[in-house]
Amino acid sequence: MIIQPQRSLLDLRLGELWRYKDLVMLFVRRDFVSVYKQTILGPLWYLIQPLLTTITFTVIFGNIASLPTDGLPQFLFYMSGTVVWSYFANCLTKTSETFVQNANLFGKVYFPRLAVPVSILISNLITFLIQFAMFLAFVLYFVLNGTSIQPNWLWIALSPVLMLMMAGLGLGFGIIISSLTTKYRDFRFLVQFGVQLLMYATPVIYPASSIPERFQWVIQANPMTPVIEAFRFAYLGAGTVNLNHLLYSFGFMLVVVIIGSIIFNRVEQTFMDTV
Amino acid sequence: MLPECFATGFLSLLVMPTVISVEHLSKTYRLGQISTGTFTNDLKLWWAKMRGKPNPLLRIGEKDIGNRNGEELWALKDVSFTVEQGEVLGIIGRNGAGKSTLLKILSRVTAPTSGRIRVKGRVASLLEVGTGFHPELTGRENIYLNGAILGMSRLEIDHKFDEIVDFAEVEKFIDTPVKRYSSGMYVRLAFAVAAHLDPEILLVDEVLAVGDAEFQKKCLGKMGDISQTGRTVFFVSHNMSSILRLSKRVLLISKGTIENLGQPEKVVDSYFKIGTDSLSHREWINNQDAPGNDMIRIRSVRVINEHMQTIETVDIRKKTGIEIIFEQIQLGEPIVPTISLYNKEGQHVLIAIDTNNFWENPCEIGFHTCTAWIPGNLLNEGRLSVSIALNTHSSGAAIRQAVVRDVVVFQVLDPLVGDSAKGRFTGKWGGAVTPLLEWSRNYQAPITTSGK
């Protein structure tokens, strides 16, 4: 092994990360176990959170503000938005804290730093799958009660790609921000409400189709828009998607991940000197 | 690459193979602030620079010292050395000399600025005991997590699990969250994991090692064991007796460069000879801040050797001076200078006053220097803190005119070459003082009662 000043920009040492796969899995486990220790409801919290958010949205945006939902049952519409969005939002906020939260650990021992963001993606993916299963259960319940829903099987088959895009976007933005927070603490606060504001710029509580034609480009410029709309289109049969928008999002995701990796790679080697 | 490997392989038949080779290693830190700390201020600074304007964040009249691109601190400068397999390398040097930076680079916590290190084998350090323990997780879960953080695979930990639990003596509590552990159990468990890592190269920074004396002893013991089995140990310590006991070679770092590398006794000896340090010299430039009153003020205190040089570390065998400079501002009563020494435990080791008869008259106005000489082979090893008082006396009682407590500190070290009060012993000794006493011996032959 050779220790030297700078590695090439894209030398991410993924091989080394692979050797530390046990560590990644243990981080995932730690995240899970430590979250619901000493709570009464335990893992049920994973379900209660999106459920309560959905109910709140249904009451406020659906009933009081009467926002359109593309003709879908309001409950399902908001739940799909909430569940999908929170995966992205959690990936972003948690990975953005990588360096600051783990400064103590990173300062004492070496392991591939990417193990932390990667483990965050995985543990959030598990949360997402649990919540998504709940969403599907509700879809089934509505169908059994006579609501007509036309899922699109072809698009459902694309779900893994959609998840990859969300994970990539969350990771990319997250590690860029986490790298910047080692120098500028401003970004920590930015993330807090930035993510919340971003939610309103994404068709989570309203369908993209409700945006006037001349502002469509604004909403479609948001790389998360096609992802959420595609999810809705796949499982509920209503949404505004086309392949071009998705390809744009995919490209966006790749660029963010690459830029993020380069910055992360740079920062991880010397951040102990600045934190 | 191939011929190089071949060469090393060939040489290993003759000598132990080199496991670490450090080549022209340097590390710089930027002095002062790394940046202004917030993004907006950095942007402002950058914008002003682009337009050729002065730094907008400076107060009016403040000088731009330009630390953003300017001053750099060389924590390590062009350091090269090699370490053979199975060697215990002691690393000594003053605070800030670069010892810890070297260990940090070796353990890959931070990257060097230039140069490189070739390392053969897994590196682990005992300074990261308990790193990554999560209080909510059980002992069992933490063993796996901590082991993985230190670089063990799940399989390896499976193999050593029972051994680790045995060593830590926590069988009963292995499924209890570690936040319920006593601090002793916590440290034992953490150490057990680190100790079973079986690295090829072990880094130990005694300064950073957590825990009590008992635990540090355990660390040292483990180091001894490890070096017995042909592993390489890097050992940073301020404790010269441990350095001499354990190391095969010693590296002396001073101001980021290698001052000396070689035989332990020689290097430790040269350690005593270098440099000055502010800890053992205190001075008051401004009359107002100086301790004292309108009559008299203390202006400077320092610890010196026979050659009047300021020293921080004192060879136990050499005489040491405490030099006091004071200013007599107005004529007054006669002064009696007094020194007191306190050890690390806060014990009052000695008090001494100057009994020379020239103090019977009041001092003239102006600066006076007086020095108390403490003989060699008197003070015990360790850190000593000096307090100074300038007293006047009135019918047998002292009246303090200028007092300053813990004004300077110095370290007494025994080079352990055999001519100090410890003789050939090397361990740590109690007692406030360890003088070379005059011993006498009588011999009485056994009385023989048997008649021939």
Tell me how far apart the alpha carbons of residues A178 and B316 are, in angstroms, rounded to a whole number: 52
Closest chain A residue by Cα to residue B132: A105
Question: Looking at residue B383, what DSSP letter applies?
Answer: E
Question: Looking at residue B433, what DSSP letter applies?
Answer: B
Say if the Cβ atoms of B148 and A185 lie within 8 Å. Answer: no
Structural domain spans, chain A:
15-273
Q: Where are the extended beta strands (E) located within B305-396?
A: 313-315, 320-328, 336-343, 348-353, 366-374, 382-394
Q: Given CB atoms, is A189 within the 8 Å cutoff of chain B?
A: no
Question: Looking at CA atoms only, how far is residue B120 from chain A in angstroms?
Answer: 6
Question: In the structure encoding, which two tokens stand for residue A188, read together?
Answer: 């920590």
Say if the Cβ atoms of A2 and B29 lie within 8 Å. Answer: no
Say if the Cβ atoms of A109 and B149 lie within 8 Å. Answer: yes
**What is the edge-to-edge ordering of all strands in the sheet holding B296-304?**
B281-283, B296-304, B320-328, B366-374
The residue of A23, A181, A186 whose CB has the most chain B CBs within 10 angstroms, and thus the best one to mutate to test that interface, is A23
- What was the pLDDT predicted at A248? 93
Question: Looking at CA atoms only, how far is residue B345 from chain A in angstroms?
Answer: 30
Tell me how far apart the alpha carbons of residues A221 and A202 are, in angstroms, rounded to a whole number: 10
Torsion of Cα atoms, B201 then B204 then B205 then B209, to 10°: 140
Query: For residues B69 and B148, which has the higher predicted lDDT (pLDDT)?
Result: B148
Give B134's contacts in chain A (Cβ within 8 Å): 30, 34
Give A5's contacts in chain B (Cβ within 8 Å): 111-116
Across B265-279, B308-322, B365-379, least confident range? B265-279
Q: Would you place residue B406 in the very low, low, confident or very high pLDDT band (cuts 50, 70, 90)? A: confident
Q: Given CB atoms, is B42 within the 8 Å cutoff of chain A?
A: yes
Chain-centroid distance of CA B424 in Å reads 24
Q: Given CB atoms, is A185 within the 8 Å cutoff of chain B?
A: yes
In this prediction, residues A238-256 reach a mean pLDDT of 89
B297 strand-pairing partners: B292, B327
Tell me how far apart the alpha carbons of residues A171 and A166 are, in angstroms, rounded to a whole number: 8
**CATH topology (fold) of B278-413:** Coagulation Factor XIII; Chain A, domain 1 (2.70.50)
pLDDT higher than 50, residue B62: no
Rounded alpha-carbon distances, angstroms, from residue A267 to A160, A209, A254, B96, B102? 31, 41, 20, 24, 20
* Interchain CB contacts (distance < 8 Å): A and B: 102
Tell me how far apart the alpha carbons of residues B337 and B372 are, in angstroms, rounded to a whole number: 9
Q: Is A266 exposed, middle or buried (0-12, 13-18, 19+ CB in 10 A)?
A: middle
* Long-range Cβ contacts of B373-377 (<8 Å, 24+ apart): B373/B319, B373/B320, B373/B321, B374/B319, B374/B320, B374/B321, B374/B322, B374/B341, B375/B319, B376/B315, B376/B316, B376/B317, B376/B318, B376/B319, B376/B320, B377/B316, B377/B317, B377/B420, B377/B421, B377/B434, B377/B435, B377/B436
Q: Given CB atoms, is A183 within the 8 Å cutoff of chain B?
A: yes
The residue of A36, A106, A184 whose CB has the most chain B CBs within 10 angstroms, and thus the best one to mutate to test that interface, is A184
Helix (H, G, I), strand (E, B), or coil: what is residue B257?
strand
Question: Looking at CA atoms only, how far is residue B287 from chain A in angstroms?
Answer: 39
Burial letters for B214-231: b for 16+ Cβ neighbours within 10 Å, e otherwise? ebbebbbebbeebbeeeb
Q: Would you place residue B33 in the very low, low, confident or very high pLDDT band (cuts 50, 70, 90)? A: very low
From chain A residues 29-48, the ones with a CB under 8 A of any chain B CB are 29-30, 33-34, 37-38
Say if the Cβ atoms of B115 and A4 lie within 8 Å. Answer: yes
Question: Looking at CA atoms only, how far is residue B153 from chain A in angstroms?
Answer: 6
pTM of the entire predicted model: 0.69
In this prediction, residues B348-357 reach a mean pLDDT of 89
Question: Looking at residue A63, what DSSP letter applies?
Answer: I
Q: Which of B450, B442, B320, B313 has its CA nearest to residue B372?
A: B320
- What was the pLDDT predicted at B277? 45
Give A272's contacts in chain B (Cβ within 8 Å): 104, 109-110
Question: In the structure encoding, which two tokens stand for residue A124, read together?
Answer: 């959030």
Give A105's contacts in chain B (Cβ within 8 Å): 131-132, 149
CATH top-level class of B82-273 = alpha beta
CB-nearest to B154 from A1, A22, A37 is: A22
Rounded alpha-carbon distances, angstroms, from residue B279 to B14, B226, B315, B385, B411? 47, 36, 17, 10, 10
CB-nearest to B108 from A27, A34, A110 is: A110
Q: Given CB atoms, is B154 within the 8 Å cutoff of chain A?
A: yes
Helix (H, G, I), strand (E, B), or coil: what is residue B203?
strand
Place of tokens 């259960």: A137
- What was the pLDDT predicted at B9? 43
Dihedral pair phi/psi, residue B422, rounded to 5°: -80, -10
- Alpha-helical (H) ranges within B30-118 are 39-50, 99-106
Give A190's contacts in chain B (Cβ within 8 Å): none
Q: Which of A85, A68, A127 has its CA nearest to residue A228?
A: A85
Contact B414, B426 (CB under 8 A): no
Q: Strands B88-92 and B249-254, how do they pair?
A: parallel
pLDDT digits (tens, 9 = 90+) for B376-393: 999 998 888 899 999 988
Contact B177, A37 (CB under 8 A): yes
Question: Looking at residue A266, what DSSP letter applies?
Answer: H
H and E: helices and strands count for chain B: 9, 18
CB atoms within 10 A of CB A130: 15
Say if the Cβ atoms of B148 and A274 lie within 8 Å. Answer: no
pLDDT higher than 70, residue B210: no
Q: Which of A156, A157, A87 has its CA nearest to residue A122?
A: A87
Q: Which of B315, B322, B425 has its CA nearest to residue B379?
A: B315
pLDDT digits (tens, 9 = 90+) for A135-190: 999 999 999 988 888 888 888 998 999 999 999 999 999 999 988 888 777 787 88
Q: Would you place residue A108 in the very low, low, confident or very high pLDDT band (cuts 50, 70, 90)? A: confident
- What was the pLDDT predicted at B38? 62
Q: Would you place residue A9 in the very low, low, confident or very high pLDDT band (cuts 50, 70, 90)? A: low
Q: Given CB atoms, is B144 within the 8 Å cutoff of chain A?
A: yes
Question: In the structure encoding, which two tokens stand for residue B208, read together?
Answer: 């950073």
pLDDT digits (tens, 9 = 90+) for A43-64: 788 899 899 999 999 999 888 9
pLDDT digits (tens, 9 = 90+) for B99-109: 888 988 888 88
CB-nearest to B110 from A20, A30, A272 is: A272
Tell me how far apart the alpha carbons of residues B241 and B220 are, in angstroms, rounded to a whole number: 12
Contact B277, B376 (CB under 8 A): no
Summary mean pLDDT of chain A: 87
If you write DSSP's letter for every residue of B103-156 in order, what string do you get?
A: HHHHTTSS--SEEEEEE-S-EEEGGGTTTT--TTSBHHHHHHHHHHHTT--HHH
Question: Looking at CA atoms only, how far is residue A117 from chain B in angstroms?
Answer: 15
Say if the Cβ atoms of B127 and A105 lie within 8 Å. Answer: no
Q: Given CB atoms, is B150 within the 8 Å cutoff of chain A?
A: yes
Here the ipTM equals 0.80
CB-nearest to B29 from A3, A33, A273 is: A273
Tell me how far apart the alpha carbons of residues B299 and B320 are, in angstroms, rounded to a whole number: 20
Q: Given CB atoms, is B110 within the 8 Å cutoff of chain A?
A: yes
Give B42's contacts in chain A (Cβ within 8 Å): 184
Q: Would you place residue A257 in the very low, low, confident or very high pLDDT band (cuts 50, 70, 90)? A: very high
Question: In the structure encoding, which two tokens stand for residue A156, read together?
Answer: 């459902």
Say if the Cβ atoms of B109 and A272 lie within 8 Å. Answer: yes
Say if the Cβ atoms of A22 and B148 lie within 8 Å. Answer: yes
Question: Looking at CA atoms only, how far is residue A123 from chain B in angstroms?
Answer: 16
Q: Would you place residue A82 in the very low, low, confident or very high pLDDT band (cuts 50, 70, 90)? A: very high
Q: Strands B366-374 and B382-394, how do they pair?
A: unpaired
Rounded alpha-carbon distances, angstroms, from residue A190 to A181, A195, B45? 10, 8, 21
Q: Would you place residue B21 in the very low, low, confident or very high pLDDT band (cuts 50, 70, 90)? A: very high
Positive or negative: CA dihedral B203, B207, B211, B212 = positive
Contact B294, B329 (CB under 8 A): yes
Q: What percent of chain B has pLDDT above 70?
A: 80
Question: Looking at CA atoms only, how far is residue A267 from chain B in angstroms?
Answer: 10
Give A100's contacts in chain B (Cβ within 8 Å): none
Pick left, alpha or beta for residue B330 (phi over 0 → left; psi -120 to 50 → alpha; otherwise beta): beta
* Long-range Cβ contacts of A52-55 (<8 Å, 24+ apart): A53/A78, A53/A82, A53/A86, A54/A78, A54/A79, A54/A82
- What was the pLDDT predicted at A51? 93
- What was the pLDDT predicted at B396? 79
Residues contacting residue A26 through CB under 8 Å, at least 6 positions apart: B144, B145, B148
Question: In the structure encoding, which two tokens stand for residue A212, read together?
Answer: 């006037």
In this prediction, residues B408-420 reach a mean pLDDT of 83
